[in-house]
Structure 1
Amino acid sequence: MVKNLQIRLSLVEEAQKGSLKQRAAKYLGLSEAEFVLKILRKSIDARKPDVIFNYKLAVFIGEDVPSNTHIFDYKNVSKSRPVHIIGFGPAGMWAALRCLELGFKPIVLERGKNVQDRRRDLKAINQDHCVNEDSNYCFGEGGAGTYSDGKLYTRSLKRGDVRRIFESLVHHGATEQILVDAHPHIGTNKLPKIVQNIRETIIAHGGEVHFNTKITDFVVRDNQLKSIVLNNKNEMEVERVILATGHSARDIFYLLDRKKIALTAKSFAMGVRIEHPQHIIDSIQYNCGGQRHELLPAAAYSLVEQVKGRGVYSFCMCPGGFIVPAATAPGEVVVNGMSPSRRNNPFANSGIVVEINVDEDIRNYERFGALKGLEYQKDLERLAFTSGGRTQVAPSQRVTDFVEGRISTDLNPTSYQPGLQSAPLHSLLPRLIGSRLRKGFEEFGKKMKGYYTAEANIVGVESRTSSPVNIPRNKNLEHPEIKGLFPCGEGGGYAGGIVSAAMDGERCAEAAAKGF
């Protein structure tokens, strides 16, 4: 017999070993020896002073606990028909894994380096302010997701099987805790090994993964994609191509536009990253005076406000994390956030961004057509570069000074390794962004008492929240003009994070396989 239970434990009970099973036994009227528990979901409710741990449980009475539901049947595809996959971020990785299951040979072409060699280029951008255009926090094995918090929360529940993606991650080395937590994450220190394991699975079953391989041209005849050009010299014949290059592969957008392959401008969001001492966020969220209990994770938050007809909201909130330089070319400054698995850094950071409606907000960029959002994005990143001192040092301001229109005479300590430069972001940011951010921060301070504080810095700019360009596709997930081309993931405008990109990668693999 199997029963489902929901049990709530206080912080005191959570700290007591065995209390969960004791409570379940009392509820069921059974001895603890008569059943086995399996935790299905765990969440924390900190809305009131007394923190509560919520558990959703499956109780197995006289039955064995089943193993995870998904069995991944990866076939030997060394002699199978190929599907070419451009990009080896989450969309490309799961497209390749799904090809193995479907009996097709994935040939992955990644412009960047493998996950180990990538580390040198991340060190170079942090310490020497040197940006490698093909190997950075966005490009390379695992894409932008590899060196990130590894947040796995998604609202894209109708696009695919979320549980299947989680179990695939566990299969490749992630902790089973991600199957339980309401807001699961893996951590930037653990993701690289998982990414490497996925690559090894692909190669072990006959697939191919090629690094330092950049797509520089598409050869199209009679509206059919016939071949791709690699590194401006080698031409490779193709039948089915999954384009999973991510939201920062601007050269791909320029290439498609130059070849007059249909693109459309897409609304996106831009703003800044705010950084607080973690103890401030803990104090607000847990009502703990800044000293959170050891059983409580570093506190997170999610904020949204409508200001002058546009959403202002938190994005990619990283508790116990750090801010990193996410530029993909010289002459720009872009910031992003990430956390280690333990989220034990003394800072909390989050993007705070403003919705940009490309049809109404940036009419001065109409001459760029489908790339107008991209060009607006680039201009703001160049502004951050010059105002930070023309290195990877980022322009920054205390949030209270930003809102009140003052230059910060000094800045708070930061996790951002290249360093910060005081800059008048209140006057530098375009009005459509800056004015909404100022109002948004005031409102957020009302929702979270203590959030609006001189102890927090804002850092510019947070500009790579999503793709400003959409690569269209039809109901079969194929480009409406180019047969054999399947736009995929964040770069195509069809995902917004690791899990949704992975699910879209699987769908595109299935669609490409049907086309044969």
Structure 2
Amino acid sequence: MTYNYIVKNVKINLEEHPKDLGDFLPSLLRIKPKQIKGWKIKSKSIDARKKDKEGIYIVYSFIIEATNRIEIDKRAKHTLEKWAVEIANNGSCNTMKKPENPPIVIGFGPAGIFAALKLAQAGLEPRVFERGERLEDRVGDVKEFWEKGLLNGESNVQFGEGGAGTFSDGKLTTRTNSPINDEILRCFVKFGAPEEILYLNKPHIGTDKLRKVIVGIRKHIESLGGKIMFNSKVTDIIVVDGKAIGVEVNEEEKYQSNDIIAATGHSAGDIYKMFIDKGMFVEPKGFAIGLRIEHLREMIDKTQYGKYRNNPILGAASYQLAYRDISGRGVYSFCMCPGGEVVGASSEVESIVVNGMSYHERKGKNSNSAIVVTINPDDYGNTPEKALEFAAHWEKRAYVVGGGCYKAPIQTVGDFLQRKKSVSLGEVEPTYRPGTTFSDLEECLPGYVTDPIRNALTDFNKKIEGFSRWDSVLTGVETRTSAPVRVTRNNQSRESINISNLYPTGEGAGYAGGIISAAVDGIKTADAIIENYKIKQKIFP
């Protein structure tokens, strides 16, 4: 018989960090090494708050598998705070009632992927319609855009297998405290993600590893009977007597179903318009827009970690900043990408959208994040149509200011603060592709966004020395922080409040923000459908 324990809040000074944590644990607990049968890291975080006085600490929690009940020596600094019980469930899943037509999932981003996976595990053999390409081909389309400025409107950073998160930092953090979070992380590991995402305080996977994971999940869904169809744009929702009964694909083929999950992502403006035309209840909501800022990674690492910055245990440093402007608007950093790059994320012709992306190792020369300002429904007319028009207006404006050919407008922080067009760079070189143009960013955002950003940059410089350094680079515009509207749904059934059988899901529906929260929402929607068919669920994944 073995016993599992959790040891919490183990703080190890970086300068004293052992090479082998396994050799360290017996001395930590003051027990004999033979009493430990196995161990693993439950959580890991970095505490650099007192780096100049005490140094940097790595803070762990461990799960210890012991051969017997452990009696802790009273001289030990840590105690076993609670039991850790892990239950293996190998139960099967039997469909008690199978629908005549399988469920339909629109979109194959995080919400659509995990909804389809859950449905497939339940034996419901979902049909997935994705407007863009499978990932193997999508990567080529994105590369052609970044290198040549040739935009494929249906296969780009926003549309295609994996959704917008595929070409991002691959952050796996979320503000939602759901037990499903751990299930999703375990699923990622099962299909190739590094095991460290299970315990890191700020897990990230990186665009390079995330792509392989997504392909693995897709193939697993197909092995369970699911069908995933690419280049398959849903051009109509078929509604009869207030019920969705099917979809039209590519303006010709029709598929029937009583369960339609709309996981279309936050950039599918044409889908939003179709929903509105169908009479679905769509409401405007607040979101945020702004710019991307790039610094030298070495500078950010130095300010955050000091003399310890090159320690491989720490990796590239991150930050999270917020400021309340005198105007009352919130300004905050968003989607910070340590050692990453700013990427072209346009999905509409003659429009500029920027985002941040990094690879797993985060070894790029620059670090970047969005600096965005809150936008309220009153700013754009308080209707869903006006929300869509508002974001599109500034994206098209940035295209014009950038001089066309999908070149992004840029400005150094020093020139931005002095309200003058940039003419030269310093040490920081912009990473955006397919190219940049020196501009005055005042021309591609409203004053109630640029003025708060100026004030915030001054404030952020007090928190991170050098943040508003003159040669840091600003790139415009960032407009896709979240969906500008919410497709309202019934809290219990998760269906649209006025069209039954239609399940708005994920970030595009306005109910999630990021990979994990969108995946959680997709799973919950799938669970609601599964419950309708009285299915005994299989473990996930």
Q: TM bucket by the smaller chain?
A: over 0.9
Q: Is the 8 A contact 1:272 1:461 kept in 2?
A: yes
Partner of 1:33: 34
Cα deviations by residue, 1:464-495 (Å, 9 ceiling, x for unpaired): 00000110101210011111000000010000
User: Aligned match of 2:210 in 159, 175, 191?
Assistant: 191
Partner of 2:306: 287
Q: Does residue 435 of structure 2 align to residue 419 of structure 1?
A: yes
Give me the whole-angstrom Cα distance separating, in 2, the residues matched to 1:125 and 1:139.
13
Give me the whole-angstrom Cα distance separating, in 2, the residues matched to 1:492 and 1:181.
29
Partner of 2:262: 243
Q: Does residue 518 of structure 2 align to residue 501 of structure 1?
A: yes
CA shift, 1:280, in A, is: 0.8
User: Aligned match of 1:163 in 154, 173, 182?
Assistant: 182
What secondary structure, in the 3-state scheme, does the structure 2 residue paired with 1:379 have?
A: helix
CA shift, 1:294, in A, is: 2.7
For residues 327 and 74 of structure 1, do their structure 2 counterparts lie closer, same or farther at Cα, with a shift above 3 Å needed? Answer: farther
User: Aligned match of 1:465 in 448, 469, 481?
Assistant: 481
Partner of 2:67: 62
CA shift, 1:261, in A, is: 2.0
Q: Is the 8 A contact 1:68 1:167 kept in 2?
A: no
Partner of 2:357: 338
Give me the whole-angstrom Cα distance separating, in 1, the residues matched to 2:236 and 2:121.
30
Partner of 2:314: 296
Partner of 2:288: 269
Give me the whole-angstrom Cα distance separating, in 2, the residues matched to 1:67 and 1:387.
59
Q: Is the 8 A contact 2:5 2:84 kept in 1?
A: no
The alignment's TM-score, normalised by the length of structure 2, stands at: 0.90
Q: Is the 8 A contact 2:128 2:227 kept in 1?
A: yes
Give me the whole-angstrom Cα distance separating, in 2, the residues matched to 1:17 and 1:480.
56
Q: Does residue 20 of structure 2 align to residue 11 of structure 1?
A: no
For residues 204 and 75 of structure 1, do their structure 2 counterparts lie closer, same or farther at Cα, with a shift above 3 Å needed? Answer: farther
Q: Is the 8 A contact 1:44 1:52 kept in 2?
A: yes
For residues 387 and 427 of structure 1, do their structure 2 counterparts lie closer, same or farther at Cα, with a shift above 3 Å needed? Answer: closer
CA shift, 1:512, in A, is: 2.2
The alignment's TM-score, normalised by the length of structure 1, stands at: 0.94
Give me the whole-angstrom Cα distance separating, in 2, the residues matched to 1:496 and 1:72.
32
Cα deviations by residue, 1:345-384 (Å, 9 ceiling, x for unpaired): 11101011001011x3224xx5xx3221111100010111
Give me the whole-angstrom Cα distance separating, in 2, the residues matched to 1:403 and 1:72.
60
Give me the whole-angstrom Cα distance separating, in 1, the residues matched to 2:86 and 2:316.
29
CA shift, 1:75, in A, is: 6.0
User: Aligned match of 1:486 in 480, 495, 503?
Assistant: 503
Q: Is the 8 A contact 1:75 1:205 kept in 2?
A: no
Cα deviations by residue, 1:107-136 (Å, 9 ceiling, x for unpaired): 111001100000111012101111111100
For residues 135 and 283 of structure 1, do their structure 2 counterparts lie closer, same or farther at Cα, with a shift above 3 Å needed? Answer: same
Give me the whole-angstrom Cα distance separating, in 1, the residues matched to 2:40 and 2:139.
38
CA shift, 1:295, in A, is: 2.5
What secondary structure, in the 3-state scheme, does the structure 2 residue paired with 1:315 have?
A: strand
What secondary structure, in the 3-state scheme, does the structure 2 residue paired with 1:138 have?
A: coil
Partner of 1:138: 158
Q: Is the 8 A contact 1:486 1:512 kept in 2?
A: no
Give me the whole-angstrom Cα distance separating, in 2, the residues matched to 1:85 and 1:194.
20
Cα deviations by residue, 1:299-349 (Å, 9 ceiling, x for unpaired): 000001111212100111000111111000111000001110000111101
Partner of 2:77: none
Q: Is the 8 A contact 2:47 2:57 kept in 1?
A: yes
Amino acid at match of 2:507: E
Amino acid at match of 1:218: I
CA shift, 1:70, in A, is: 6.8
CA shift, 1:292, in A, is: 2.1
CA shift, 1:23, in A, is: 4.1
CA shift, 1:427, in A, is: 4.7
Give me the whole-angstrom Cα distance separating, in 2, the residues matched to 1:83 and 1:73.
23
Structure 1: gaps spanning 5 or more residues? none
Give me the whole-angstrom Cα distance separating, in 1, the residues matched to 2:104 and 2:392.
30
Give me the whole-angstrom Cα distance separating, in 2, the residues matched to 1:72 and 1:266.
43
Partner of 2:537: none
What secondary structure, in the 3-state scheme, does the structure 2 residue paired with 1:288 have?
A: helix
Give me the whole-angstrom Cα distance separating, in 1, the residues matched to 2:91 and 2:449.
48
CA shift, 1:513, in A, is: 2.7
Give me the whole-angstrom Cα distance separating, in 1, the residues matched to 2:121 and 2:90.
7
Give me the whole-angstrom Cα distance separating, in 1, the residues matched to 2:191 and 2:183.
12
CA shift, 1:4, in A, is: 2.5
CA shift, 1:174, in A, is: 1.2
What secondary structure, in the 3-state scheme, does the structure 2 residue paired with 1:213 have?
A: coil
Cα deviations by residue, 1:431-460 (Å, 9 ceiling, x for unpaired): 111111111111111111111102310100
Q: Does residue 140 of structure 2 align to residue 120 of structure 1?
A: yes
Give the 5 Å matches for 1:50-449: 50-62=55-67, 80-81=98-99, 82-158=102-178, 161-288=180-307, 292-307=310-325, 308-358=327-377, 360-363=378-381, 369-411=383-425, 412-449=428-465
CA shift, 1:3, in A, is: 3.1
Give me the whole-angstrom Cα distance separating, in 2, the residues matched to 1:306 and 1:503.
31
Give me the whole-angstrom Cα distance separating, in 1, the residues matched to 2:283 and 2:321.
29
Cα deviations by residue, 1:151-184 (Å, 9 ceiling, x for unpaired): 00000114x5211111111122211110010000
Q: Is the 8 A contact 1:317 1:337 kept in 2?
A: yes
Give me the whole-angstrom Cα distance separating, in 2, the residues matched to 1:148 and 1:288.
29
Give me the whole-angstrom Cα distance separating, in 2, the residues matched to 1:73 and 1:91.
25
Amino acid at match of 2:28: Y
Q: Is 162-171 or 485-494 further displaced after alignment? A: 162-171
Cα deviations by residue, 1:12-68 (Å, 9 ceiling, x for unpaired): 222x322x3444322322232321322100111112221111111122220699997
CA shift, 1:236, in A, is: 1.2
What secondary structure, in the 3-state scheme, does the structure 1 residue paired with 2:126 have?
A: strand
For residues 182 and 231 of structure 1, do their structure 2 counterparts lie closer, same or farther at Cα, with a shift above 3 Å needed? Answer: same
Give me the whole-angstrom Cα distance separating, in 1, the residues matched to 2:272 and 2:213.
29
CA shift, 1:288, in A, is: 2.6
Amino acid at match of 2:510: G
What secondary structure, in the 3-state scheme, does the structure 2 residue paired with 1:354 have?
A: strand
Q: Is the 8 A contact 1:277 1:455 kept in 2?
A: no
What secondary structure, in the 3-state scheme, does the structure 1 residue paired with 2:351 have?
A: coil
Q: Is the 8 A contact 1:215 1:229 kept in 2?
A: yes
What secondary structure, in the 3-state scheme, does the structure 2 residue paired with 1:378 have?
A: helix
CA shift, 1:502, in A, is: 0.4
Q: Is the 8 A contact 1:371 1:468 kept in 2?
A: no
For residues 232 and 67 of structure 1, do their structure 2 counterparts lie closer, same or farther at Cα, with a shift above 3 Å needed? Answer: farther
Q: Is the 8 A contact 1:484 1:512 kept in 2?
A: no
User: Aligned match of 1:46 in 42, 45, 48?
Assistant: 48
